């Protein structure tokens, strides 16, 4: 009788372990102290900043985002996001326009190593929030990396490990979405790291709102790694993520990144553009695209100023893109441009090459 009891206990304990979440503090609710809305990952129990070199200039600083009522009734950060559960989430930058290859990562040591040949379901909830103060760019590349030893980031550079799962298409959602994948462990993985593992030159981007410091920012909640019976998970009722098919404008740009290098505040509906070769005329050829339409095609830059008129669209992105067909004798392709709206006028330079397109965003 005692042997039967021990056998049943063993079976029950194995069943509990197989369905157990190996991620401690999976909702980021255990922390050292309540913040005024935002603190660093050092405030969170069990999780840590993958960058361990805080004396490095521009080191990655993922956030612990707190959102709850204060004593005066005000709600911290509620205009930016609401946690999927509880009062807190993690937050990290996955792309920053003003700093090349800037990435932030968060990591955790699992409660036990994954068992080789066993199958696990890995999931998390994500959102980009609902206010441009915490990012306004949709990108691909956010991923989950399982490793048998800790990975480290030295400054803000992308980690070169290949994640087991990452977004291949642009992702941007103001609602919480569940991301799930399964993995059959080929190593005794013990560490989980979340972030964007793609370099800038390979990144796909889409701009959704205007902000003075454009970036891609993700809030993350309810992370889990759970052993399963090897069966594929049931399909989610909601789509895993909200993605959009590449626009006609993006296909026209041959997959090149769009780098907003300047902004121009307009005072009326129309903008007069004048474009010319800033340096010596050396064969630079450009096209101009505005709101997905070509407004100038295959134009060889000259010393004389070429005039083009465009109209502001309150429902459009209003991004003027410079597409370089050739780089001339002195790369990159550099054009001088004058923009005039009413009495407001500015002259600026735009640089493009065969990997990225310089751009100007019109704002009101």
Give per-residue pLDDT as tens, 317-329: 788 888 888 765 5
pLDDT for 45: 94
Share of the chain above pLDDT 90, in %: 34
Residue 42 lies in a domain: yes
Predicted local distance difference test score (pLDDT) of residue 16: 42
- pTM of the prediction? 0.62
CATH number at residue 103: 2.60.120.260
219 and 256 assigned to the same domain: no
In a domain, 232, yes or no: no
Give the separation between CA 258 and CA 237, rounded to whole angstroms: 34
Is the same domain home to 279 and 219? no
Q: Is residue 169 located within the same domain as residue 312?
A: no
pLDDT level of residue 204 (50, 70, 90 thresholds): confident
Both 37 and 179 in a single domain? Answer: yes
Q: Of 291, 341, 345, which is closest to residue 320 (Cα–Cα)?
A: 291
**Of residues 159 and 55, which shows the higher confidence score?**
159
Average pLDDT for residues 355-360, to the nearest whole number? 79
Please check whether residues 261 and 174 belong to one and the same domain. no
**Greater model confidence, 251 or 174:** 174
Q: Which domain holds residue 48?
A: 2-227
Q: Which of 60-69, 212-221, 355-364 has the highest mean pLDDT?
A: 212-221
Domain count, the chain: 2
pLDDT category of residue 71 using cuts at 50, 70 and 90: low
Q: What is the pLDDT of residue 147?
A: 95
Same domain, 193 and 324: no
What SS3 state is found at 10?
helix
79 and 167 co-located in one domain: yes
Q: Which residue has the higher pLDDT, 250 or 80?
A: 80
Mean pLDDT of 350-359: 78
> How many Å separate Cα 330 from the centre of its chain?
33
Alpha helix (H) residue ranges in the chain? 2-18, 248-252
């Amino acid at each position: 009788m005692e042997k039967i009891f021990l056998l049943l206990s063993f079976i029950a304990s194995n069943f509990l372990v197989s369905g157990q979440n190996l991620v401690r503090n999976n909702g980021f609710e255990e922390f050292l102290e309540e913040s005024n809305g935002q603190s660093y990952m050092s405030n969170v129990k069990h999780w840590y900043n993958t960058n361990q070199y805080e004396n490095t200039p521009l080191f990655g600083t993922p956030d612990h985002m707190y959102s709850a009522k204060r004593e005066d009734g005000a709600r911290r950060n509620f205009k930016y996001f609401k946690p999927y559960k509880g009062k807190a989430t993690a937050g990290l930058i996955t792309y920053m326009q003003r700093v090349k290859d800037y990435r932030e990562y968060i990591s955790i040591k699992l409660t036990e190593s994954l068992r080789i040949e066993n199958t696990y379901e890995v999931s998390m909830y994500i959102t980009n929030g609902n206010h441009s103060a915490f990012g306004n760019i949709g990108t691909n590349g956010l991923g989950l990396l399982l490793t048998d030893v800790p990975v480290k980031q030295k400054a803000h550079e992308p980690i070169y490990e290949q994640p087991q799962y990452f977004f291949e298409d642009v992702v941007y959602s103001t609602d919480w979405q569940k991301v799930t994948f399964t993995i059959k462990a080929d190593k005794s993985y013990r560490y989980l790291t979340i972030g964007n593992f793609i370099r800038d030159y390979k990144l796909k981007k889409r701009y959704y709102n205007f902000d003075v410091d454009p970036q891609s920012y993700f809030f993350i909640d309810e992370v889990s790694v759970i052993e399963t019976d090897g069966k594929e998970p049931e399909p989610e009722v909601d789509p895993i993520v909200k993605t959009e098919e590449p626009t006609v404008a993006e296909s026209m740009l041959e997959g090149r990144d769009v780098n907003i290098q300047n902004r121009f505040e307009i005072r009326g509906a129309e903008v007069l553009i004048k474009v010319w070769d800033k340096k010596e005329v050396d064969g630079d050829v450009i096209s101009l695209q505005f709101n997905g339409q070509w407004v100038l095609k295959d134009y060889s830059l000259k010393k004389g100023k070429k005039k083009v008129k465009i109209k502001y669209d309150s429902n459009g992105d209003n991004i003027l893109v410079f597409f370089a067909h050739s780089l001339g004798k002195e790369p990159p392709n550099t054009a001088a441009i004058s923009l005039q709206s009413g009495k407001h006028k500015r002259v600026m330079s735009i640089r493009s090459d065969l990997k990225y397109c310089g751009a100007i965003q019109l704002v009101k």
